Structure 1
Amino acid sequence: MPIETIEVDDDQVARILTVREGHFQDMKAREVAPGKLTKTLSGFANGDGGELYVGIDEKDGQFTWNGFVDEEAANGHLQIFEELFPLGEGFRYEFLANERNAGLVLHVIVLRSASIRKASDGVVYLRRSAQSLPLRSEDQIRRLERDKGITTFEGETVNSPLDTITNSEISLTFMLDAFPLNEPERWMRMQRVIVSDKPTVAGLLLYSDLPQADLPKRSSVKLYRYKTADAEGRRETLDGQPFTIEGPLYNQIKDALYLTTKLVESVGKLGDTGITPISYPPETLHEIITNALIHRDYGLADDVHIRVFDNRIEIESPGRLAGHVSPQNILDERFARNGNIVRLINKFPDAPNKDVGEGLNTAFDAMKKLQLKNPEITELDHSVLVNIKHEKLASPEQMIMEYLETHAEITNRIVRELSGIGSENKVKNIFNRLMRSGQIERVPEKKGNLSAYRRVQG
């Protein structure tokens, strides 16, 4: 398949040459051996994705354009790249040309890969900051496999007696309620939570009355209250002792939600009528806490941490996002690290993940309905942090005007999506107010269901 050549203007060239090498970008001269460059591509694919520009010289911290003479001059690079990183499998190759600069720059766009990608030397690399670091130990590779969801700790067996899960209170209650004609042990073997006559991690988490006894330091929830709005909680702002929430996963989710809600109710906010309790949508807390517990990496010896601040709630879950999921696409993509846990906890009465695959969308929609800002999802080195701020969205009027700073027009549907307002008529009234104040006008040729609005043309 031929590689496309894209003409870029001088402004685009300037932007490329001012890019600094980092976690998501790398710049290399065309003389660099293709095999060496595959380390960068491996690092990007195994990490969070990134972009590589080949044909950029660097001297004293300054980048200059010095591309390939023509497409054929880059064949050596493309052959080895496509052998290891085929076009269309999360890799895109294109040449960039500019009439003022000599040669073609090879631009490689790498998406986060769901599989592990090796460089030409057979080594797996992982991008961290501006380096592609080799992963040589078995533990490092296993850690990456779990991050990508290729393997999962939930299927590991644990040297515990079978009756820890077959004769527990929760398992007997669950079986009588859900499958009254089944014997627990037979059913659990069929569900692969008993393997080689041992319970698996998933089996203990779901059906042991106290999985923390067999899975210490990796299956509890820690709940904190910090009396501050600072960026970080400190010992002097910690209110009392942290709660430790234990028990089977089904109970743990319910207890964590209940205790977090109670703790939030103790937080006051000064308003026009004095100090009033703040509140968060229960759907948001439910979905994000549920996700934190059922999708976490149980192979990491850490707990789920819930921190209640004066102006926000932080929920930190061990393990990075699995597979190809990223903070940018998490509302659209689905990938379950712990597939057995997700499937089996859904069989419990009033399952915490009843809307499988839609939980986070529900959480975001609930925030919008209360005119609160969307939760922020950040991927850290070994965990995922969700920040739920008690911070109002901009007014609908301000939101419309800010949108029109970067877009030519806006519609009723777009406003409802941005603001969470459910009524078309409410949005029409907002448009009418903005038109009366002389800030926007209708797009003349668009009427009825196609109606759109724009800034008043000067």
Structure 2
Amino acid sequence: MDALELLDLIQKGESSVVQFKVRINDAYKIGTEMVAFSNTKGGLIIIGVDDKSGDINGLSFEEIAETNQLLANAASDNVKPQIFIETETVEVENKNVIVASIAEGMSKPHTDNKGIIWLKNGSDKRKVVAREEMARLLQNSGNLFADETLVNGTTVNDIDEDFFQEFVLAKTKKSIEEIGQSTSTVLSNLGMIKEGKLSLGGLLLFGKNPQQFRPNFTVQCVSFVGNDISSKEYRDKEEPITGNLKELYEKTLSFITRNLKKVQIKEGFNSQSKLEIPIETIEELLVNALIHRDYFILSSIKIFIFDNRIEITSPGRLPNTLTIDNIKIGTSISRNPILFTNARYILPFVGVGSGIPRAIENSPDLELINDTERELFISVIKRPE
């Protein structure tokens, strides 16, 4: 980092990814700051700058050596699992400042040496006490998957037996009778039941009524008049759509298609028509929302149809290192491995990262938004004028 870049950062003040320290002398306290950065999106600790005024105080040669040693000790002894940081000394206005770079952690949740989990909260930090937040940190590090968690109160009797048998036949080319195992055994082999309880993945795929146990996992659909969500007029509206993933897909697709215009392909009264938006785009994005949403967030998928666009809003930002750019070229990370592995037998889902590229090919003006602040992934499909 050069002096101009550093001055620009200092002038913008502290944020969720930049923090100032005049001096540091407490390895535990600076360790808690590193934990918070590691558990969030990473960031910079700039030492030698007053966090109240933004004034550059600078560090002496001895202070630079002491500060680097203290930072290294904090990263190894006061952050668990330990992290590795990068430091550099930048001269600004004839004063030396240390910039410590902390990357987003790959082994979340990180804790301090007292076992406390910290997260960034704006330019400050806060303790994590909610189990849901802890679970999502584990999910981000690949150590916990929502669809593998067990759902209390469920049993094998909550499975739609007929639908599950159709799935088994499609997946194995054999009936359950031919396999010679009970439904519970097959479910167990698929990771969908344990200790007599269904996993969330098993419930979502084959449950008779998943919303009995997870009422938030619905799809909400509204077709508005105009282009603003604050509009009090709507053309069509559904009660929250319920059911297993196949039912959610079919009912939601029906809502969307009935609220779109049909365009005549050729001249002539008897000529065929097609939807104003390619059906393939809608199918790909809807399946993507159902399979890849964050099921640790207790919220619904939302479908909003406006006069000029359709918005499909899915709970959860892109996981781990995924970005808009790399999903456009087919990069994929499985957030829900049970759904990812088995949905292809009940939904139009391939599971090789090709869904988004196909949607873009059919709808080149498709807009994808990874809203990290609100923890949402939004697909915006433009409607023709």
Q: Which amino acid counterpart does residue 196 of structure 1 have in structure 2?
A: E
After superposition, residues 211-230 of structure 1 pair within 5 angstroms as: 211-215=210-214, 217-230=215-228
Equivalent residue number for residue 287 of structure 2: 290
Secondary structure of the residue aligned to 1:26 is strand
The residue aligned with 1:237 is: 233
Scaled by the length of structure 2, the TM-score of the pair is 0.81
* Higher mean C-alpha deviation, range 234-243 or range 196-205: 234-243
Structure 1 residues 153 and 376: CA distance shift in structure 2, 3 A? closer
Structure 2's unaligned 5+ residue stretches are: 178-182, 264-273
In the TM superposition, what is the alpha-carbon distance from 1:222 to its structure 2 partner? 0.9
Q: 1:336 aligns with which of 326, 334, 337?
A: 334
2:180 counterpart residue number: none
With a CA cutoff of 8 Å and minimum separation of 6, indicate the structure with the bigger relative contact order. Answer: 2
* Conserved? CA contact 1:67–1:102, under 8 Å: yes
Q: Which amino acid aligns with 2:169?
A: L
Distance 1:345 1:264 in 2: 27
Root-mean-square deviation (CA, aligned residues, Å) is 3.2
SS of aligned partner of 1:64: coil
Q: How many residues are treated as equivalent by the alignment?
A: 364
Whether the aligned pair in 1 keeps the contact of 2:35 and 2:112 (CA below 8 Å) is yes
- Provide the residue aligned with 2:267 in structure 1: none
Q: How much does 1:52 deviate? A: 2.1
Q: Displacement of 1:243 after TM fit?
A: 4.6
3-state secondary structure, aligned to 1:264: coil
- Distance in 1, matches of 2:206 and 2:100, equals 51
- What is the DSSP-based 3-state SS (H/G/I as helix, E as strand, rest coil) of the residue aligned with 2:302? strand
Q: Deviations over 1:48-77 (max 9, x none)?
A: 222222222244x33325135265222112
Question: Paired residue for 1:308?
Answer: 305
Task: Select which of 361, 368, 378 maps to 1:386.
Answer: 378
Matched residue type, 1:117: H
Offset, 1:388: 0.7
Structure 2 SS opposite 1:62: coil
Alignment of 1:112-261 (within 5 A): 112-146=105-139, 148-155=141-148, 156-165=150-159, 168-179=161-172, 180-183=174-177, 184-215=183-214, 217-230=215-228, 233-234=229-230, 236-261=232-257
Contact 2:39 2:104 (C-alpha < 8 Å) held by counterparts: no
Counterpart residue type for residue 246 of structure 2:
Y
- Alpha-carbon offset, residue 342 of structure 1: 0.9
From 68, 73, 98, give the equivalent of 2:66.
Answer: 73
Deviation at 1:113, TM superposition (A): 3.4
Matches within 5 A, 1:59-98: 59=52, 61-67=53-59, 69=61, 71-74=64-67, 75-83=69-77, 92-98=85-91
Shift of 1:266: 7.8
Deviation at 1:193, TM superposition (A): 0.9
Contact 1:224 1:306 in 2 (8 A): yes
Deviation at 1:22, TM superposition (A): 1.4
2:108/2:140 contact within 8 Å kept:
no
Stretches of structure 1 lacking an aligned partner (at least 5 in a row)? 1-5, 268-276, 393-458
Residues 28/257 of structure 1: CA separation in 2 closer, same or farther (3 Å cut): farther
Partner of 1:431: none
Whether the 8 Å contact between 1:158 and 1:201 is mirrored in structure 2 is no
Query: In structure 2, what residue type is equivalent to 1:159?
Result: G
Q: Which amino acid is 1:210 matched to?
A: N
Relative to the length of structure 1, the TM-score reads 0.69
